[in-house]
């Protein structure tokens, strides 16, 4: 398992390369619907960039994120959420 700082570094690099050059990220350990260890990764976008992102960009991000994490030995499945900077997350 990778450390949080390494997961965040990888997720930020992927998000900035595929979605928004100023994207921020935060990760935490969680459990998936099957009860297995997983990662919750939140990608934070600017309001302007979130308007221009297309589905193919999101799919590319998800694919590259999972590949990069696996290449580094992280086997937990990444559950990815997106937020817009300044937006209050659902449930808060």
Q: How far is CA 70 from the centre of its chain?
A: 14
Residue 90 maps to a domain:
no
Regarding pTM above 0.85, the answer is yes
Residue 8 maps to a domain:
yes
Q: How much of the chain exceeds pLDDT 70, in percent?
A: 93
User: What pLDDT score does 90 carry?
Assistant: 56
For 17-60, write each residue's pLDDT tens digit: 999 999 999 999 999 999 999 999 999 998 888 778 889 999 99
Counted domains in the chain: 1
Residue 91 maps to a domain:
no
User: CATH number of the domain that 56 lies in?
Assistant: 3.30.300.20
Which token pair is 59?
A: 């799919």
Domain hosting residue 26, numbered range: 4-84
Residue 19 maps to a domain:
yes
- pLDDT tops 70 at residue 91: no
- pLDDT tops 70 at residue 84: yes
Q: What is the mean pLDDT of the chain?
A: 92
Residue 29 maps to a domain:
yes
Closest CA to 12 of 52, 39, 48, 43: 43
């Amino acid at each position: 398992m990778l450390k949080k700082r390494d997961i965040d570094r990888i997720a930020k690099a992927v998000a900035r390369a595929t979605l928004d050059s100023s994207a921020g990220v935060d990760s935490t350990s969680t459990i998936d619907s099957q009860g297995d260890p997983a990662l919750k990764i939140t990608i934070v976008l600017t309001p302007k960039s979130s308007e221009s992102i297309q589905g193919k960009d999101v799919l590319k991000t998800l694919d590259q994120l999972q590949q990069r994490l696996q290449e580094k030995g992280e086997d937990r499945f990444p559950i990815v959420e997106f937020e817009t900077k300044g937006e209050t997350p659902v449930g808060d």
